[in-house]
Amino acid sequence: MSAVVANVTVTDTSANGGFLTLYPSPPTPTASDLNWSANESVSNLCEITLNSSGSFTAYNYIGSADVIVDVQGFYS
């Protein structure tokens, strides 16, 4: 697999101005996949590129959030 298509949801967020970036390997990109305010639940359909071992990194900018990744499909 080279990428997945997934519905990504953050919930139980603790900080205003939070964002989540999903990427294959360092360095961390400057674009975000989800943005939220405190106490919000937000979802977004994302295409996530995978690294050579078939995984990705999720970077949370500030505070804490529960992250749910529901994979819908993949590219090979």
* 8 Å CB contact between 7 and 72: yes
Rg of the Cα atoms in the chain: 12
Looking at residue 64, what is its pLDDT? 94
Place of tokens 């964002």: 19
Looking at residue 62, what is its pLDDT? 94
| 55-66-61-59 Cα dihedral, nearest 10 degrees | 0
Tell me which amino acid residue 42 is: V
Looking at residue 1, what is its pLDDT? 80
Q: How would you write the pLDDT of the chain (76 residues) with one tens digit per residue?
A: 899 999 999 999 999 999 999 999 999 999 999 999 999 999 999 999 999 999 999 999 999 999 999 999 999 8
